[in-house]
Amino acid sequence: MGEMGLVLGIDVSTTATKAVLVDGSGAVRGIGTAEYGYDTPRALWSEQDPGLWWAGSVEAIGRALVAAGVAGEAVEAVGLTGQMHGAVLLDTAGEVLRPAILWNDQRTAVECDEMRALVGPERLIEITGNDAITGFTAPKLLWIRRHEAATWARLAHVLLPKDYLRLRLTGEYAIDVADGSGTILFELAARTWSSEVLEVLGLDPAWFPPTFEGPEVTGALTAKAAAATGLRAGTPVVAGGGDQSANGVGVGAVDEGIVALSLGTSGVIFAATHAPIHEARGRVHAFCHAVPGRWHLMSVMLSAAGSLRWFRDTLAPGEGFGELVEPAANVAAATDGLFFLPYLTGERSPHPDPLARGAFVGLTVQHDRRHLTRAVLEGVAFGLRDGLDLMLAAGMPRPAQIRASGGGLASDVWRQILADVLDAELVTTSTTEGAAFGAAVLAATGAGWYRDVPSAAAALVRTSHAASPGAARSAYATAHAAYRELYPALTPTFHRGQPSDGARG
């Protein structure tokens, strides 16, 4: 390995594109961000103009180069990541046919039922590792076929968001296996498109691009793209990965025993596995990892730090999170029978139920705001533990360490609660750039800096201790058992009188 320059990771998210320049020591040398919006033309719909991703990338790359004080020639390779599960539809000339339908679009409940009926519910999970849910790509295609005949007649290429950016950068149609498996059109074990699922659903295999492992080079920057971005023509672009697998690489969750926890508005537990295992009912997701020869399990709860934000905005508007949370440290762990169910926007793991609702259970006149705050922190931790338990039951090894990231980790109180409830050591990483940093690590591997992704992650990712399980873990184990009884007991109340549109999937 000779002298290294810089690698570039680009993250095409729902609300912004971020470009991160990383050097050979793992230091972030420059960051550029360009923000944009998305459209909700009808209730439950979520769409975005793919042109925003290209314009945002050009702007973000330029800002990152300026921040680093370097020219584009210093960049040796580019890695891509971004929002998963979107549907980008192109004609034979590669022109966009309609706005992309995004991961958070909820219009396809009927199509999810159609997929289960056509493939068979058990067979679908057996092949793809997942149940059909409204966020995934496959049911979006069935919706287009049912509702937009003119678009369907012109369809020639299906891409995911970051892969549309790849097309604009390199002129090549390609997809990585991690993002591809999130379409639920993949044969999980084979790490490529499932001929059986495509045939049963009536989808043309020619629409779907060739598949590549995360660090593999998929093309090189064209002269036109180089002129627009300031990068060097011929710069290799690696396959990359969907945002969750790239984030896993970015925090070093690339092998069994190391689990990633993302505590943002939603909460994600992500674990690499050596084999393509899945949960029998599809209550946690099973995808290919961006690391060759690795897969991953992932549980997703919809309102993690979002629950604390709701609580603050509702009961203590304008107050800092520190002011709200620190007094909860004086409340004993798992006491008083007070519980909070964090299902404020429905739930995904372990209860795939959009009609689930939040609740405080066990309130008495002895409780004040401190107790309510602690119940929220504990309730989110219990919800995350539910997902972790499903992953363990599916065959994932018990984690020796959890690599944690996200705004919620700023709280000492919450870090300790999480370590106690999840019964594992928590560490944090030196960079908060997540998926974009992971895309840069994949680019570093593709550039030949390291022999493989685990070696690159070991060299570039730095960690620091956050919290270890303490004396409260036994009390939390008992309290979690009680917490798990609440959702089944309250489900009839949650569902009574609720609208059914979009409820399944």
DSSP 426-449: EEEES---HHHHHHHHHHHHHTTS
* Cα–Cα separations (whole angstroms), residue 330 to 309, 326, 371, 407, 417: 21, 8, 9, 22, 13
Asked whether the beta carbons of 394 and 279 are under 8 A apart, the reply is: yes
Q: Report if pTM > 0.75.
A: yes
Question: Active site includes 255?
Answer: no
pLDDT, position 35:
95
Residue in 179, 243, 386, 420 annotated catalytic: 243
Asked whether the beta carbons of 442 and 243 are under 8 A apart, the reply is: no
Name every residue whose Cβ is closer than 8 Å to that of residue 442 and which is 6 or more positions away in sequence. 9, 79, 214, 215, 238, 239, 240, 241, 246, 249, 290, 453, 456
The model's pLDDT over 398-425, given as tens digits with 9 standing for 90+, comes to 898 999 888 778 889 999 999 999 999 9
Question: Any idea what the Cα angle at residue 265 is, between residues 472 and 486, rounded to 5°?
Answer: 50
Instruction: Quote the crossing angle between the two packed helices 412-422 and 369-393, to the nearest 10°.
Output: 40
Q: What are phi and psi of 293, to 5 degrees?
A: 75, 10
3-state helix, strand, coil in the chain (%, to 5): 40, 20, 40
Below-70 pLDDT ranges, the chain: 1-3, 497-505
pLDDT, position 265:
85
pLDDT, position 501:
43
pLDDT, position 499:
55
Instruction: Quote the crossing angle between the two packed helices 121-128 and 109-119, to the nearest 10°.
Output: 90
pLDDT, position 348:
86
The model's pLDDT over 154-204, given as tens digits with 9 standing for 90+, comes to 999 999 999 999 999 999 999 999 999 999 999 999 999 999 999 999 999
Helix (H, G, I), strand (E, B) or coil at 374: helix
Place of tokens 């995350």: 384
pLDDT, position 3:
57
Q: Is 352 left (phi over 0), alpha (psi -120 to 50) or beta?
A: beta
pLDDT, position 394:
93
Q: What are phi and psi of 164, to 5 degrees?
A: -70, -40
Question: What domains, with CATH codes, occur in the chain?
Answer: 6-239 (3.30.420.40), 305-388+474-494 (3.30.420.40)
Name every residue whose Cβ is closer than 8 Å to that of residue 147 and which is 6 or more positions away in sequence. none
